[in-house]
């Protein structure tokens, strides 16, 4: 099933949710879904809105229904390091700290399912399958964090950009987005702050990849023309 990145919310109940199969609630039966629904509420944010901010008290968990969020940390000197991008099905707020360890902003319009941390903790007390699902999602986030550390290491700009594009393609494929056009809702500056590069370097690298026939730059995204070459650069 193809899940929208950018459209407004279409679902009123957990049973209608298009991301349920790969979200935190995937481990629940029909009765448990209704119980979980009573603990949640749908919220919408417009482009640029802050869903939660680093170092503020963490009172809620969030499951992304539609849209894309940028996840980032502010460094002591004011610089921004993007640590990831959240897609439909992602679950935010898993850290055990009483405060949010990073900030989350809406890249475009987003719809989320919001849960009280205390309420969800009580819900999971006697539901081991639900707790195992949360652990699976936490493990997935840890894997992504480790991959990001490698990405920031000793790789060329071309390898970093190719790795980002292939990784983004694979993540979108996981939620049903398969097609000739790879949408990139985030801007060049976001990609630069994620890869540890300057925006000028990212722009030059995109241009080089297009000149070499690896990609075609489109409005709002790219087309992968030479997937094998992009994958080879990504794996370098």
**Per-residue model confidence as pLDDT tens digits over 217-234:** 999 999 999 999 999 999
Residue 116's pLDDT is what?
92
User: In angstroms, rounded to a whole number, what is the distance separating the alpha carbons of residues 107 and 47?
Assistant: 5
Q: What mean pLDDT comes out for the span 180-207? A: 96
Residue 75's pLDDT is what?
87
The encoded tokens of residue 49 equal: 């809105």
Residue 192's pLDDT is what?
96
Residue 15's pLDDT is what?
67
Q: Is the pLDDT of residue 100 over 80?
A: yes
Q: What mean pLDDT comes out for the span 191-207? A: 96
Please write the tens of the pLDDT for every residue from 118-174.
898 899 888 888 888 888 888 888 888 778 877 777 789 999 999 999 999 999 998
Residue 5's pLDDT is what?
56
Q: Is the pLDDT of residue 113 over 50?
A: yes
Mean pLDDT of the chain: 88
Q: What mean pLDDT comes out for the span 162-189? A: 93
Q: Is the pLDDT of residue 65 over 70?
A: yes
Top-confidence residue, 93 or 223: 223
CA 169 to each of CA 82, 94, 124, 163: distance values in angstroms, whole numbers, following the listed order = 18, 25, 33, 10
pTM: 0.88
Residue 180's pLDDT is what?
87
| 122-141 exposure pattern, b = at least 16 Cβ within 10 A, e = fewer | ebbeebeebeebbeebeeeb
Helix (H, G, I), strand (E, B) or coil at 163: helix
Phi, psi dihedrals of residue 105, rounded to the nearest 5°: -115, 150
Residue 13's pLDDT is what?
64
Helix axes 227-235, 157-174, angle to 10 degrees: 110
User: In angstroms, rounded to a whole number, what is the distance separating the alpha carbons of residues 12 and 122?
Assistant: 24
Which domains are delineated in the chain? Answer: 14-151 (2.60.120.10), 157-235 (1.10.10.10)
Q: What percent of the chain has pLDDT over 90?
A: 58
12 pLDDT band (50/70/90 cuts)? low
Helix axes 157-174, 188-195, angle to 10 degrees: 110
């Amino acid at each position: 099933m193809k899940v929208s990145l950018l459209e407004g919310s279409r679902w009123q109940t957990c049973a209608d949710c298009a991301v349920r199969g790969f979200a935190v609630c995937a481990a629940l039966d029909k009765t448990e879904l209704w119980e979980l629904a009573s603990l949640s509420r749908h919220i919408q944010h417009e482009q640029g809105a802050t869903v939660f901010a680093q170092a503020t008290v963490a009172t809620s968990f969030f499951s992304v229904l539609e849209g894309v969020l940028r996840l980032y940390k502010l460094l002591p000197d004011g610089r921004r390091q993007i640590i990831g991008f959240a897609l439909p099905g992602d679950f935010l707020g898993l850290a055990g700290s009483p405060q949010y360890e990073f900030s989350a902003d809406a890249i475009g319009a987003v719809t989320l399912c919001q849960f009280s941390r205390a309420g969800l903790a009580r819900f999971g007390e006697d539901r081991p399958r639900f707790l195992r699902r949360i652990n699976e999602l936490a493990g997935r986030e840890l894997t992504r964090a480790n991959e990001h550390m490698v990405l920031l290491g000793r790789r060329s700009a071309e390898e970093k950009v190719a790795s980002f594009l292939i990784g983004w393609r694979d993540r979108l494929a996981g939620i049903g987005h398969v097609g000739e056009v790879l949408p990139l809702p985030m801007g060049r500056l976001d990609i630069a702050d994620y890869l540890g590069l300057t925006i000028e370097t990212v722009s030059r690298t995109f241009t080089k990849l297009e000149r070499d026939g690896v990609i075609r730059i489109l409005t709002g995204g790219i087309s992968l023309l030479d997937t094998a070459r992009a994958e080879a650069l990504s794996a370098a």
